Structure 1
Amino acid sequence: MTEAARGAHISPRNMYGETGGLGSFVRALIREGSLEARVFPKERGRGGLVSKLRVAYDRKPVQAFVDSLALGKTLRRQSGGLDRTKIAVLPFASMSRNPSDADFADGVCEELISRLSIVSGLSVISRTSTLAYRATDKTAPEIGSELSAGSIIEGSVRKSGNRIRVTIQLIDANTDGHVWAQSYDRELGDIFEIQSDVSEKVTEFLKVKLLPSESQRMGTPPTSSTKALALYLKGRHYWGERTEAGFEKAIAYFEKAVEADPNYALAYSGLANCFYFRAAYGFAERKAASKRAREMVLRAIELDPDLAEAHASLGWVIYHEIDWNWRDAQTELESAVRLKPSFSSAHQWLSILLSENGVHDRAIDEAKKALELDPFSNAMQTTLAQAYWMAHREREGIEVLERAAAASPEFSSFYNYHAYLGLLRVSLGLYREGVKEMQTAVRLSHGQPVLKADLGYALGKAGKRVEALRILHELESGKRGLVTTLNLAEVHLGLGNFDKCLGLLEAALKQRVPDFRTQVAGPIFGELSESSRLKRILELLEVPH
């Protein structure tokens, strides 16, 4: 590593982060593909694992980039600098004495991100990525280079009784200069008016033209209740954990938000997502969850027909849970992207749907956009890898995952990282390596049925029949509603029981098993593409083949 560092003129001071691992701009180099990282588990150093770096492309542009950052300068594009219309809103500091007021400061920040995300002329980094900069001592140019964002918004909130003081500053990440700053001393109930004013000022100073519809939506608060907003934000936090306990806590907070404001459409949309994903991750029975999810999302749209989050949720639910109607689902997801262009999850879900319909180039573009908006998100990294997998560009998918893990070692503790790395390697015929990754995914997920099925399939392909049959038995003995005939069909496919596999697929079609179209359209069942029985299923589902 030190040899590679000397070759690229990276000093030891800039090589490592303050708390171990790689330095910030080295991680940025890896994400851009200018440096390639490889992790060697037996080597240890500051912060644990040491990564060996090597220059991947022409040394001169890499050298210029490294030198500029090492000297404390800002990364400049050929166009003259980082795009100022790409914004990162950092977590707001709570200046209140009461620790519980930190949630209120988070709510102010979350709502500002949501409003700015409506503007088609802006690209707003997701909160899940900017959270990494809470209480950071990094400069705006450093943050801007890591997120490829030319504008940084910082703020603080002080709450005292019914009075609030909100201080905002807009910083140019290219120059570290302040573009605009203002303080607001108002009544607590004026918080939404403050957020509207800040949003308008930001677009004004960045010279971004607002469409009339965008201006109207930016000026309309999602709720008049600060209590409901705080509860919703807590629900969002737990929803993002994607664990059984996390889903339960999220549902509880979203329900409390609805109690605080029965007309809070976003909270209903949050409930819809929880009901769907809790079942999709194997923590609840699918059909009952689908019904609840549909009820919640339709209520959200009834309350706010222009709510992007609700349209995205509706598209996802009707496609995966109700009737596999991909045309209506695509319409809903594209509406979500139109209503909120910086809504990363809408781009992510649209990518997945497009992949399943064989529109691979656009699917990859949407996945890249989702990752651009949420660069530190594990889910967005795996979605891009999935898009490459579906397009049979496995090596590019593996490269995405390995680069992400090198830039952020904690990514390798995410079970979907191992799941997709396993699927990609199995697709390349690397069965031993694929099995190892899938075993890790099953362990980290606490035995999710869909991942067990992937493992059983991989074991069968690797010739480990005894272990594959044990997985099959475990699935057959599993809780009904969580394990589906589709899971069983996948393991039988790996074992080479093609007739049994096709029979189970036909049964899953009749049962309208959730996610059936998604799975059948993927590469796993592609080896049966010459079967007239599978062709018939694909024709009924309107899946390109």
Structure 2
Amino acid sequence: MVAGEPPFKGRTDSHTRVSILDHEPAPLLQYSAEVPRQLERIVSKALAKDRTQRYQTVTDLKLDLEQLRNELQLSSTDAAGLDRALHKSLAETITAASVPTHDRGQVDTHAESKPETGTSKIADANRQKGLIFVGLGILALLVVVSLVYWRSSPPPINSIAILPFVNESNDPNADYLSDGITESITNSLSQLPGLKVMSRNAAFRFKGLKQDPQETGRSLNVGAVLTGRLVKFGDRVIIKTELISVADGSQIWGSEFDSKLSDILSVQDEVSRKISENLRVRLTGADEAKLAKRYSNDAEAYQLYLKGRYFWNKRNEEGFRNGIDYFKRAEERDPTFALAFSGLADSYALLCDIGVATPVNEMPKAKAAAQKAVDADPNLAEAYTSRAFVKLAYDWDWLGAESDFQQALKLNAKYPTAHQWYASYLMQMGKFNRAKAELEEAHNLDPLSPIISANTGLYSYYEHNYDDAIDKYKLTLQSDPDFWVARHYLGLAYVQKGMFNEAIAELRSLIKVPSGPLPDDVVAAETEAAASLGFSYAMAGKRAEAQAILDQLQLLSRHRYVSGIYFAAVYAGLKDNDHAIEYLNKAFESRHPGLVLIRIDPMFDRLRSDERFKELVKRFEPIP
């Protein structure tokens, strides 16, 4: 042997095992000055106490040994002898690691003699190279110790949920920080290929609930959960974290961080790193780079971004507009902050998508912000997803949208929003089977997302499969009774089934006006739902009620933008094709997001034989 003695030893087997677990082996250079430093590094890595720092596979070890052999420029004869010795030793290593614990002492004794047999075949080499050959052969045996130790450890945990951090400050304005840290750690870990991370949407369903973490983990079907508590006072923040095994409720890791707000990025990095280490996630160099990636080095810009996302996640007009303000301020602090540009793009785009902003005015801003995001960070999945949405919703660049969605998923295949929006693209293109498959991918990543769940019903609705749509909407509403999308389209599915009373009741309940005329402020706040109610009245033959809603939409349009598609829907229900097509053309001119859906939307089935409608649909071509 190179060192002349084993790396771990003791008076008895028990003492040897203690040495393996608790003591560091002496460096090889202490025993032989002729040992190459590369061999010293390989031995140290094979015997590292931290399992994440060791060789994760025998193949990795073999590659480093072969590289060292090549660097030493062995002769072809020597190399062949070394290969045979190595292969034999590695095979015995694998066998030894798989033998039951009570038999391992016998296997270790047997295996120890093998490297000597292998190295004897290259004994004709000079003394220095001979020592190296023996060292390389014996190293394969040394890794038995590492593998046996690794095999005796609990299996790695490959799934986790980052539960919403609790803001224990006496300041509700610090919620942006607790929510933002949770989301940032989730996003960071979700990029690791060997770890399943529950989405923000799934985890945040438990925000504010005093539920046992272990039970929460079981309901999310993960192996571990991270809990956190945060106290902010002035420019300092104290964060307490605990990583808990769902299997037995034991603490895997826990720590407390007391830092300045300006150091919050370092805290997030440390938490993510500790989680990956303690879950024994195998990381490549590229994985480690992703985990350590910082999207901005400006702490104030990052806090402004967190505030922007906090408001954006409220998913209403006020939230989007507040988000725009914070994203702009983050951009001013850091003009290279790609995530801030992506958030800005999404805010402008969704203001148009919910029908409260004029697309021809706001979508160009979304387009510019999305492009800045891609330019600032060409490896950011969120940037391509934002740009894809603009191409789909505003540019009507079908091929460009698909290309960007696919690039986003190539960069981060575990980004549920990209899967969800790509599914929407496929559905709008009429590719229902592919859309459903893509939505299933989104659901697997985010099984508790109400919008993904509701979209399964929406796709059935667009396929004119109303019974299935109703069943799926009701399933979504079991877990989220007030979810807007599910309730809205449940009402429209009832209309197509001829269940007009149920449709009207559902939509009135949605806008919280169970009876009587609709107040003007309700029509302003719930414009799309009000238009759908007008359509329902028209289809039910209640023309006066439908006309009253049309009049309110007209009044509202004098004060702010109202999409032509809302007028067209009510007129389609009234079978007034002239006005319906007139307003659809207005919606086309204003670039209403998702207008291409009129090709498949059951609302407009009665217009399909009209030549003017056919001409309008042709303006969307070519459809890929």
Q: Same fold (TM over 0.5)?
A: yes
Aligned to 1:421: 490
Cα-Cα RMSD: 3.4
Cα distance in 1 between the residues matched to 2:584 and 2:356: 23
Match of 2:505 among 405, 429, 436: 436
Match of 1:407 among 463, 467, 479: 479
Are residue 472 (structure 1) and residue 550 (structure 2) matched? yes
Distance 1:535 1:86, change over 3 A: farther
Aligned to 1:65: none
Aligned to 2:163: 90
Please give the per-residue CA displacement for 1:454-482, whole angstroms capped at 9, x wherever unaligned.
22222221111122222223333432662
Aligned to 1:314: 387
Distance 1:285 1:537, change over 3 A: closer
Partner SS, residue 429 of structure 1: coil
Aligned to 2:535: 457
Aligned to 1:149: 222
- 8 Å CA contact 1:162, 1:187 repeated in 2: yes
Are residue 224 (structure 1) and residue 300 (structure 2) matched? no
Cα distance in 2 between the residues matched to 1:407 and 1:507: 38
Are residue 388 (structure 1) and residue 460 (structure 2) matched? yes
The 5 A counterparts of 1:457-536 are 457-479=535-557, 482-506=561-585, 508-509=587-588, 512-536=591-615
Please give the per-residue CA displacement for 1:209-262, whole angstroms capped at 9, x wherever unaligned.
446544433221112233332322222222222333222322222223233333
Distance 1:538 1:121, change over 3 A: farther
The 5 A counterparts of 1:254-403 are 254-321=327-394, 323-403=395-475
Are residue 243 (structure 1) and residue 316 (structure 2) matched? yes
Deviates more, 1:185-194 or 1:363-372: 185-194
Cα distance in 2 between the residues matched to 1:95 and 1:492: 53
- 8 Å CA contact 2:177, 2:307 repeated in 1: no
Q: Could you tell me how far 1:361 is from its partner in structure 2?
A: 2.9
- 8 Å CA contact 2:263, 2:299 repeated in 1: no
Greater RCO structure (CA 8 Å; 6+ sep): 1
Letter in 2 for 1:285: T
Cα distance in 2 between the residues matched to 1:492 and 1:281: 20
Q: Could you tell me how far 1:516 is from its partner in structure 2?
A: 1.7
Aligned to 2:517: none
Q: Could you tell me how far 1:350 is from its partner in structure 2?
A: 1.7
- 8 Å CA contact 2:348, 2:362 repeated in 1: yes
Higher helix content, 1 or 2: 2
Aligned to 2:23: none
Distance 1:330 1:85, change over 3 A: farther
Deviates more, 1:461-470 or 1:185-194: 185-194
Q: Could you tell me how far 1:100 is from its partner in structure 2?
A: 6.2
Letter in 1 for 2:415: F
Q: Could you tell me how far 1:135 is from its partner in structure 2?
A: 6.1
Match of 1:446 among 516, 522, 530: 522
Letter in 2 for 1:521: I
Please give the per-residue CA displacement for 1:493-539, whole angstroms capped at 9, x wherever unaligned.
11122354345435544554443213443232234444454444434
- 8 Å CA contact 1:272, 1:313 repeated in 2: yes
Letter in 2 for 1:114: N
The count of corresponding residues between Structure 1 and Structure 2 is 460
Q: Could you tell me how far 1:352 is from its partner in structure 2?
A: 1.6
Partner SS, residue 247 of structure 2: coil
Partner SS, residue 290 of structure 1: helix
Q: Could you tell me how far 1:192 is from its partner in structure 2?
A: 3.1
Aligned to 1:18: none
- 8 Å CA contact 2:360, 2:591 repeated in 1: no
Q: Could you tell me how far 1:356 is from its partner in structure 2?
A: 1.3
TM-score scaled by structure 1?
0.74
The 5 A counterparts of 1:57-76 are none
Are residue 126 (structure 1) and residue 210 (structure 2) matched? no
> What residue ranges of structure 1 are gaps of 5+ in the alignment?
1-82
Distance 1:507 1:279, change over 3 A: closer
Counting aligned pairs with the same residue, the percent is 30
- 8 Å CA contact 1:164, 1:188 repeated in 2: yes
Larger Rg: 2
- 8 Å CA contact 2:229, 2:240 repeated in 1: yes
Distance 1:123 1:338, change over 3 A: farther
Deviates more, 1:94-103 or 1:244-253: 94-103
Partner SS, residue 133 of structure 1: coil
Partner SS, residue 522 of structure 2: coil
- 8 Å CA contact 1:449, 1:482 repeated in 2: no
